[in-house]
Amino acid sequence: MVHRLKNVKRAIRDWVRALPRTSLQEKEAELRDLQSELQDDMMSGEMAAREKRLAAEVNTLRLQQEISAAQRAKCSWLKDGDRCTKFFYDVIRARQHRNRIQRLIGRDGRLVTDQVAIQEEAVRFYSELYHQTDYPSVFPQLITKTLITEYGNSLLMAPIRMAEVETIVMQADASKAPGPDGFSSGFYKRHWNILKVPVLAAVQEFFDTGKLLKELNHTFLTLVPKKEGATSLADFRPIACCNYLYKIITHLMCRRMEDAMQGLVSRNQAAFIKGRSIAEHSLLAHELIREFHKPGGMKACVKLDLRKAYDTVNRDFLCHLMAAMDFSETWVDRVRECITSPTFSVLIQGIPYGFFGSSRGLRQGDPLSPYLFTLVMEYFTCLMDIAVHRERIVPIYSRVSPVVSHLIYADDLLVLLRPSMRGMRELAAVMEEFGQLSGLRLNRDKSKVYFSSSCTLKEERALELGVEKGDLPVKYLGVPLSVNYAKDRDCQSLVDFAQRRVEGWQAAGLSFGGRIELVHSVISAIALFWLQSIMVPLATIRKIEGICAKFIWHGGIHAISWEQLCRPRKEGGVGLRSLVSVREAAGIKLAWRFLQGDSLWSAWMTSRYLRGRNFWVCEIDNNFSVSFKHILRNRPVLRTAMRRRMREGGETDLWLDPWISGQSLLEILGPQRDGVAYRGLTCRHIIRGGVWRPEAYRFTAPLGEEIRQVQITPTALSDVWIWAPPGRSEGAGEFRFSSCYDLVRTHFDDIEEYDFVWGKGLARKMQLSAYKLVLDRLLTRDRLLRFGVSVPDPKCVLCETETESIGHLFFQCHVAWSIWAEQSRRHLGGVGRERDFREILKWIGDCRGKEQSWARRARLRLAASVWHVWRERNRRIYEGLSTPLVGILHNIESDVLVMSP
């Protein structure tokens, strides 16, 4: 397989060299000249055919230019839209500038600016970083909490199937950078029918022999600066660019390890484990820190930073630990081959330098590394549990909640303990033992300890641990961690992030559609993460919405309100989400996750606040945290969006849980005189052999019928709540944030012009111009005058006869009307007398005798005509340029050909 790829690479290189060099600018100039000639001789069929071919070539070159720029810019959030080529090139230049290493501080402390010296310094630094000198290779008997089962090992070593490999390839992100061989995942996806047999053979060969070719596991290290103006190599993050064929192997190993990790990794860890959430981890940290202001002795929180975490892992220790966890010896050998066989070159200004091996560390960029690192961190949990069990370290705990001595998310460690002098020394001893075995050493400069206000001798206690004393609030997992509830000032960094994203000079190159996509895909995603992790104040949300709205309209007139933009497309919006409604939906999701009861956070919250009380009838107490109050306030919405999947009935309270159409038996029947006798009863008492017992129907006839509709699935598994919002059937009971958001947002009537605006195949830029047309929000000159904007001449710039309005510009102006009339005459079989877009749409819809595809093409041509008229109007006003009528018609034709199936 590797040999074949080399041959293909050589052939592609030769093919590219042989391609004729065609300039887009030259072709565009040639097209403009031809269109000018055609304007004078519109009857020339030969010239028209040549113009059509040339227009298609120009369109192809523009598309190739955009695709190339988009791939190099790596803006995965900008999925579709107008040709934001300028923006892509701005991003490329910015990334090249940011990643360009022009100066370094060398080993001797002197500033290095010579490129050759920089290359040599980088190669030396990373060859030493990945080389271990004093790591142990013989280990004591390791104590682990859990062992992998025999069944788990059988899943790891199961035969390789084509479907398994194909799924990995088809789910890959084609925009990711390739490895040293130059073949990205997109190459494999595009040519999978040709490649699948040799790829499967290569993967099978590795699992059979346990050996990898050196060239297959060669890696380029891309140096990404951790901060602006980095001059020390320690301030760069080495991201490994691995060959995709190797990644197929490790992705397959990851998929097989995924299920095994559930039982092997304690609930203190949340990263890279399916079903565990960074948001719940963050929420639990806030709940634990909240205990700091309560009486009950001294408390401390230690935020530990590991020096070069991934890069310094002791590989021998990792393999020894996996053996201690009872991983199959064959599997451990396969893992060892993957992590010990790579060789490296360092990319400086995009050019590889050096060639060296390694004897320690895991590559950041290898799919297998996060799972292996999680196993290493699990040993820290073992050491901490031993220290807590032997009372060497006393955690912060209450009599009613689970003991949580530490939280781990990847390489972010948070330890919570009673900060006695002995306890601080013992924690330092745990870190030292862990570092000696695993190679992961404490970075004392970046680690901090935070004490409760009741703590004394803070400096002395911090000195025992060997780290500095810090002050809360502090950032943990990207959000502020504080004793008090988050205030608007605590969330300023979120506001600053949104402001930076929209104020950057790169964002100035985005079109209207690109700006909407940036708000939708980047800013809203970060805001959602915060909203699920802490209770963000409403004032902060309003600030971010204001920033987004101002950015979308370039700081000018807000032609369409933020509230309108945040409606679904069918209801007259562009599909953005109101962050206020997202905040409500995030609270419902939080309540849903709490009810699942499968995380450390939900277990802690249940024991801390419910204390045996039923969730559905528990009254809100002033001592509850803000997040738990928020959960309880969302119970009414939850009742409408979920139902009980009954199994044995043992976990469903007969009287108090809302298991009958969102209501409880107590709510339906009211308090019973002998109700006390029913306390603690579960639905198991009225289920026998997987069916309802006769007494389940002895209430009222309607109630009996409702109970009969509750399905029972006989199984030994527990009863569960499933997500089933009104009018939604997808997801098989799994939570969907989209349907949750739909529950809380305001609903509006559907717009009639939906198919015209958002029709299939219509380019994003044309969709948005049609959208503004439908809402009567295009900033024509008459509208600008109504906004109080000074307009030198209100007349239509196309015909220069009447005042420019939406109705005149597109359908009454003789220039614009001739464009639509010509389109209709040539391609739609004639034109009616309609001079309004709604009348034209009605005319299209009334042509019942036509095929559905005809109506779709007609709407495409109408939308394309609207966009090109608006574009011509703007070119004449702002650029002083004009396009001949024949040029506009052919531009429309080119766009329609691209959009048509």
- Among 13-22, 323-332, 876-885, whose mean pLDDT is lowest? 13-22
Q: In terms of Cα–Cα distance, which of 503, 461, 504, 452 is closest to 482?
A: 452
Q: In terms of Cα–Cα distance, which of 482, 440, 447 is closest to 468?
A: 447
CA 122 to CA 120: how far, in whole Å?
6
Q: Which domain holds residue 817?
A: 754-899
Residue 352 is inside which H or E element, if any?
strand 351-356
Tell me the mean pLDDT in the region 126-130.
Answer: 94
CA dihedral 87, 92, 98, 104 (to 10 degrees): -160
For the stretch 25-51, pLDDT in tens is 777 787 777 766 766 665 566 777 777
Among 73, 96, 118, give the residue marking a domain's end.
73
For the stretch 649-670, pLDDT in tens is 888 998 899 999 889 888 888 8
Q: What is the pLDDT of residue 76?
A: 56
Among 44, 73, 102, give the residue marking a domain's end.
73
Would you place residue 569 in the very low, low, confident or very high pLDDT band (cuts 50, 70, 90)? very high
Structural tokens at position 342: 């790579």
Tell me the mean pLDDT in the region 181-201.
Answer: 94
Asked whether 359 and 315 are in contact (CB, 8 A), the reply is: yes
Structural tokens at position 251: 């992705």
CA 112 to CA 720: how far, in whole Å?
63
Q: In terms of Cα–Cα distance, which of 770, 743, 760 is closest to 837?
A: 770
Tell me the mean pLDDT in the region 272-297.
Answer: 88
820 vs 171, more confident: 171
For the stretch 811-858, pLDDT in tens is 889 888 888 888 887 777 665 666 777 888 887 777 655 667 778 888
Q: What is the pLDDT of residue 79?
A: 55
Structural tokens at position 242: 């691995």
Tell me the mean pLDDT in the region 725-744.
Answer: 81
- The dihedral through the CA atoms of 497, 498, 502, 503 has a sign that is negative
Residue 346 forms part of a structural domain: no
Tell me if residue 580 falls in helix, strand or coil: helix
Tell me if residue 474 falls in helix, strand or coil: strand
Asked whether 417 and 465 are in contact (CB, 8 A), the reply is: no
CA 231 to CA 246: how far, in whole Å?
32
CA 282 to CA 479: how far, in whole Å?
8
Asked whether 900 and 761 are in contact (CB, 8 A), the reply is: yes
Q: What is the pLDDT of residue 631?
A: 94
Q: What is the pLDDT of residue 332?
A: 97
Structural tokens at position 426: 């013992």
Residue 503 is inside which H or E element, if any?
helix 492-503
765 φ/ψ angles, rounded to the nearest 5 degrees? -65, -35
Amino acid identity for residue 710 in this structure: V
Residue 79 forms part of a structural domain: no
The strand pair at 468-469 and 448-451 is best described as parallel
Q: In terms of Cα–Cα distance, which of 711, 781, 630 is closest to 287?
A: 630
Would you place residue 279 in the very low, low, confident or very high pLDDT band (cuts 50, 70, 90)? very high
Estimate the crossing angle of helix 538-552 against helix 492-503, to 10 degrees.
Answer: 0
Q: What is the pLDDT of residue 637?
A: 92
In sequence order, which residues have a C-beta less than 8 Å from that of residue 722 and are 6 or more positions away?
642, 643, 644, 645, 733, 734
Name the DSSP letter for residue 487.
Answer: P
Asked whether 586 and 379 are in contact (CB, 8 A), the reply is: no
Asked whether 731 and 754 are in contact (CB, 8 A), the reply is: no
Residue 837 forms part of a structural domain: yes
What's the whole-number average pLDDT of the chain?
A: 87
Residue 895 forms part of a structural domain: yes
**∠ Cα 201 207 211 (to 5°):** 95
361 φ/ψ angles, rounded to the nearest 5 degrees? 90, 160
Asked whether 385 and 371 are in contact (CB, 8 A), the reply is: no
Residue 702 forms part of a structural domain: no
HSE-CB for 851 with a 13 A CA cutoff:
3
CA-to-CA dists, residue 642 to 510, 620, 737, angstroms: 41, 22, 13
Does residue 751 have a pLDDT over 70? yes
**∠ Cα 700 703 704 (to 5°):** 80
Estimate the crossing angle of helix 192-209 against helix 162-170, to 10 degrees.
Answer: 120
Does residue 152 have a pLDDT over 50? yes
CA dihedral 609, 611, 614, 616 (to 10 degrees): 0
Scanning 634-735, the segments in alpha helix (DSSP H) are 635-641, 665-669, 701-709
Residue 8 is inside which H or E element, if any?
helix 2-18
Task: Write a three-state SS string for 260-301.
Answer: HHHHHCCCCECCCCCCCCHHHHHHHHHHHHHHHHCCCCCCEE
Domain count, the chain: 3
Q: What is the pLDDT of residue 81?
A: 47
Structural tokens at position 491: 């969330």
CA-to-CA dists, residue 529 to 145, 277, 473, 522, angstroms: 32, 11, 19, 11
- Among 161-175, 406-420, 521-535, 840-854, whose mean pLDDT is lowest? 840-854
Among 50, 73, 96, give the residue marking a domain's end.
73
Structural tokens at position 615: 């969730």
Q: Which residues pair with 111 in a beta bridge?
A: 105
Q: What is the pLDDT of residue 696?
A: 78
Asked if omega into 402 is within 30° of 0 (cis), the reply is no
CA 6 to CA 857: how far, in whole Å?
45
Residue 515 forms part of a structural domain: yes
Residue 597 forms part of a structural domain: yes
Would you place residue 98 in the very low, low, confident or very high pLDDT band (cuts 50, 70, 90)? low
CA 404 to CA 281: how far, in whole Å?
12
Tell me the mean pLDDT in the region 291-313.
Answer: 89
275 vs 61, more confident: 275
Q: Which residues pair with 236 in a beta bridge?
A: 225
Hey, which of 454-468, 510-524, 654-668 has the most confident mean pLDDT? 454-468
Percent of residues, the chain, with pLDDT higher than 70: 91
Asked whether 507 and 88 are in contact (CB, 8 A), the reply is: no
Amino acid identity for residue 275 in this structure: G
Asked whether 94 and 506 are in contact (CB, 8 A), the reply is: yes
First to last CA, the chain: 36
Residue 365 forms part of a structural domain: no
Q: In terms of Cα–Cα distance, which of 145, 270, 261 is closest to 599?
A: 270
With b for 16 or more beta-carbon neighbours within 10 A and e for fewer, the 230-249 pattern comes to bbebeebebbbbbbbbbbbb
- Among 245-249, 490-494, 714-718, whose mean pLDDT is lowest? 714-718
- The dihedral through the CA atoms of 527, 531, 533, 534 has a sign that is positive
- Among 86-95, 211-220, 538-547, whose mean pLDDT is lowest? 86-95
SS3 content of the chain, % helix, strand, coil (to 5): 55, 10, 35
Estimate the crossing angle of helix 244-264 against helix 192-209, to 10 degrees.
Answer: 60
Other beta carbons less than 10 A from residue 874's beta carbon: 12
Q: In terms of Cα–Cα distance, which of 376, 408, 403 is closest to 269?
A: 408
Q: In terms of Cα–Cα distance, which of 471, 501, 476 is closest to 415?
A: 476
Identify how many contiguous H helices and E strands the chain contains and give both numbers.
36, 17
Q: Which residues pair with 172 in a beta bridge?
A: none
Tell me the mean pLDDT in the region 630-650.
Answer: 90
C-alpha R_g of the chain: 32
Q: In terms of Cα–Cα distance, which of 271, 272, 302, 275 is closest to 481?
A: 302
Q: In terms of Cα–Cα distance, which of 740, 711, 747, 709 is closest to 726?
A: 740
